[in-house]
Structure 1
Amino acid sequence: MGTPTVAAFTDTYLPTVNGVTYTVKSWRECWEKRGHEMDVVYPGGDEYDPSDGEYPVRSVPFPFYEGFRIGVPQVPDAVEDADIVHSHTPFGVGLSGLRLSRSEDVPLVASYHTPTSEYAEYISFNGAIERTVRRCAESYERWFLEQTDLVVAPSERTRRHVVQEVGVDTRVAVVPNGVDIDRFQPVDTAAFRDRYDLGDGPLVGYTGRHGYEKCLPDIVAATEDMDVTVVFGGDGPAREDLEARARKADLDIRFLGFLDREELPAFYSVLDVFAFPSPVETQGLVALEANACGTPVVGVDSGALSDTIEDDATGYHYPRGDIDAFGEAIQRALDDRERLSGTCLDSREQLSVEHSVDRLEELYDSVLERTAIAP
């Protein structure tokens, strides 16, 4: 079977920076290095100029989450001949993918990046409204995924969630997001330390979206009695409250703000421990990027992080909500940093985005074969 032409539909793309953006971008780059075609349809804005194969659609700002935009359901003419539609969202632009799949009678694949119900608090004003929003989000999510020919989950834990908790009957397969291991590897950190005046002491840090669901104040609480510097990279709606919590702590805490992609290998490499208290991850891409740079991760034993982190090899887990245990796990990782760094680096090859796209190509072919023989 020939290599399919893919049209990817996503509500999150450049210049917005998060795990979904990086996954779509890295899969597309890897796919096209193999001589294949993967176009991307995304919400357009003034801050990013599309390159060949990138098709912005009209969009409006999302009023409840700064930096996000909602795309108007629209199918650009240039992607109408795709062999497979791959939707990275059930909303907005994702509905355009569903429409293209139905109108052209081509398979629809959906990536399950984020449990939509986890973000109910952003558009809710009290507990009753939040519960209602969660139920509606879960029902809609189930409906959308059942319109597809295949659901792709980034981890086994997430696959089980989609099957058992969301209740989807569609086939669900695991394809890790993958890491660009040519980019994410240990690098010299002297210039990075000097640029941000980080000194020579032990560093515990996090980078990524500052969302309330990430539980980032737990990092401050867990390290408050340690002789460390805590470093936060990234930005998001919870940053102001996080900074307010940090001002009350007797601790050296630095907020670096948004970091360019080129700076991230140095950020991960300079840390002694990457702290990750988010219980809502579907894989936790930043944890894998940190590991690829030789930095152990201490993360909550919840969601996909239960599988992403290998205890006593790439980091340590702690029970959700147990701040004392979080602090103890961070200290243990600090004490065992050199050995853990070695075991992290030993696992780099299996994290590669190339392996992920190999699996993705197999699944695309299987979907095309099944739909070709379906009555």
Structure 2
Amino acid sequence: MRIMIVTDAWAPQVNGVVRTLDNTIRELKRRGHAVLVISPDLFKTVSCPGYPEIRLALFTKSKIKSLWNHFLPEALHIATEGPLGLAMKRYAERREIPYTTAYHTRFPEYLKSYFNCPLWITYTYLRWFHSKSKNVMVPTPTILRELSARGISELSIWARGVETDVFKPQRLEKNNDTTVFLYVGRISSEKNISAFLKLDLPGEKWVVGDGPLLETYKHEYPDIQFFGAKKKTELVSFYNQADVFVFPSKTDTFGLVMLEAMACGTPVAAYPVASPIDVIHNGESGAMDEDLKQACLLAQEVPRENVRRYAQNWSWKQSTDSFESYLVPFSRA
């Protein structure tokens, strides 16, 4: 099948949307599907306010038509609700072409955090954007229930996976016996990383990632080690050196980094909110508590072999099985 995937988020961005699509596309191609990604790098772009690394596509109409006619897809998936996703939605609906969509990011909450944009405005837009979708793919049952309560229908669960052949336990010599609490992700306000940074924990706190608040936090927390952004293969060493992976976000829709840490055998500490409550099993792969410090201390007690075993239940093959089953094929004629 010839599958067109339209996304406002793509390489060189490093985030959960890009990693999810990249792994899904790789698996689709293994199955013999032809996949074309329509992404901002094919168009003139401007920077996204608050996310300068994200480029927003401009003047898309004529090029979308050209790309469509050249590729002649048999299934269409619109992955994001940004300018490029909007342009493809309009193109498809004018031609009565069926399509699926996905909900990857809590933009209503992020826009409220950054610009104090009322939630009702952005959720009204999301209801309209997804209203003609044949399947709105969401990552967890909790997110499905939340969107359903907001009036979005045709929801299906598209769970995530982890590369257990890449993210796996390693024998590493630690410099000392100090407990290491690790955070990996974007250094920004919506990730609630300050909740982790200010904790009084019995050990070292390590932070891997980049973002607009990196320099601010380096200055405010001189005793914390900040390592900057790292490549996927480099992350494996950090996960393996950590005793606990701390996930302080209350707004993520999933959090692939949790699965990556678990696949390396590192238990996860988090708040009992959407995404962690669908990914973490208390006592088996980590710990959740309204008191994040308590979650960190409880997670320390979880055996690493149990965590690794739990992570092996999450595969990109199973994830792609779901994605593939939700697509709505149509005739190229």
Q: TM-score surpassing 0.5?
A: yes
In the TM superposition, residue 288 of structure 1 has moved relative to its aligned partner by: 1.0
Counterpart CA distance in 1 for 2:108 and 2:45 is: 23
In the TM superposition, residue 255 of structure 1 has moved relative to its aligned partner by: 0.5
What is the correspondence of 1:62-101 to structure 2 with a 5 Å cutoff? 62-72=48-58, 73-74=60-61, 75=64, 77-80=66-69, 81-101=72-92
In the TM superposition, residue 301 of structure 1 has moved relative to its aligned partner by: 0.8
AA partner of residue 167 (structure 1): G
Give the equivalent residue in structure 1 for 2:151.
167
Instruction: Indicate conservation of the 8 Å contact 2:284/2:310, yes or no.
Output: no
AA partner of residue 347 (structure 1): Y
Query: Aligned to 1:299, which of 267, 270, 273?
Result: 270
Q: 1:104 to 1:349 in 2, by over 3 A?
A: farther
Instruction: Establish whether residue 25 from structure 1 lines up as the match of residue 16 from structure 2.
Output: no
Counterpart CA distance in 1 for 2:269 and 2:14 is: 23
What is the correspondence of 1:102-251 to structure 2 with a 5 Å cutoff? 102-121=93-112, 123-124=114-115, 130-132=116-118, 134-164=119-149, 166-169=150-153, 171-190=154-173, 199-222=176-199, 224=200, 226-247=201-222
Instruction: Indicate conservation of the 8 Å contact 2:100/2:326, yes or no.
Output: no
In the TM superposition, residue 96 of structure 1 has moved relative to its aligned partner by: 2.8
In the TM superposition, residue 71 of structure 1 has moved relative to its aligned partner by: 1.3
In the TM superposition, residue 15 of structure 1 has moved relative to its aligned partner by: 0.6
Please identify runs of 4+ aligned residues in structure 1 that moved more than 4 A.
none
Counterpart CA distance in 2 for 1:76 and 1:105 is: 14
In the TM superposition, residue 76 of structure 1 has moved relative to its aligned partner by: 5.9
Query: Aligned to 1:312, which of 261, 276, 283?
Result: 283
> Equivalent residue of 2:313, what SS?
helix
Counterpart CA distance in 1 for 2:30 and 2:172 is: 30
Instruction: Establish whether residue 354 from structure 1 lines up as the match of residue 331 from structure 2.
Output: no
Counterpart CA distance in 2 for 1:231 and 1:313 is: 23
In the TM superposition, residue 131 of structure 1 has moved relative to its aligned partner by: 4.3
Counterpart CA distance in 2 for 1:64 and 1:121 is: 12
Q: 1:42 to 1:162 in 2, by over 3 A?
A: same
Instruction: Establish whether residue 272 from structure 1 lines up as the match of residue 228 from structure 2.
Output: no
Instruction: Indicate conservation of the 8 Å contact 1:39/1:79, yes or no.
Output: no
Counterpart CA distance in 2 for 1:35 and 1:281 is: 32
Give the equivalent residue in structure 2 for 1:331.
297
Query: Aligned to 1:38, which of 35, 39, 42?
Result: 35
AA partner of residue 33 (structure 2): H
Counterpart CA distance in 2 for 1:20 and 1:227 is: 34
In the TM superposition, residue 200 of structure 1 has moved relative to its aligned partner by: 4.4
Counterpart CA distance in 1 for 2:162 and 2:83 is: 27
Counterpart CA distance in 2 for 1:363 and 1:145 is: 15
AA partner of residue 89 (structure 2): L
Instruction: Indicate conservation of the 8 Å contact 2:209/2:229, yes or no.
Output: yes
In the TM superposition, residue 63 of structure 1 has moved relative to its aligned partner by: 3.1
Give the equivalent residue in structure 1 for 2:308.
345
Deviations 1:295-334 (A, max 9, x none): 1000111112111111111001112xxxxx2112212222
> Equivalent residue of 1:176, what SS?
coil
In the TM superposition, residue 271 of structure 1 has moved relative to its aligned partner by: 0.9
In the TM superposition, residue 362 of structure 1 has moved relative to its aligned partner by: 1.7
Q: 1:106 to 1:360 in 2, by over 3 A?
A: same
Counterpart CA distance in 2 for 1:117 and 1:348 is: 30
AA partner of residue 208 (structure 2): G
Instruction: Indicate conservation of the 8 Å contact 2:103/2:138, yes or no.
Output: yes
Deviations 1:197-243 (A, max 9, x none): x6542110111111211111111222x2x331111001112323332
Is 284-293 or 62-71 further displaced after alignment? 62-71
Q: What is the TM-score normalised by the length of structure 2?
A: 0.92
User: How many matched pairs?
Assistant: 326
AA partner of residue 106 (structure 1): I
Give the gaps of 5 or more residues in structure 1.
Answer: 45-55, 125-129, 320-324
Is 270-279 or 341-350 further displaced after alignment? 341-350
Instruction: Indicate conservation of the 8 Å contact 1:83/1:106, yes or no.
Output: no
Q: Indicate the RMSD between aligned Cα atoms, in angstroms.
A: 1.9
> Equivalent residue of 1:362, what SS?
helix
Instruction: Establish whether residue 288 from structure 1 lines up as the match of residue 259 from structure 2.
Output: yes
> Equivalent residue of 1:316, what SS?
strand
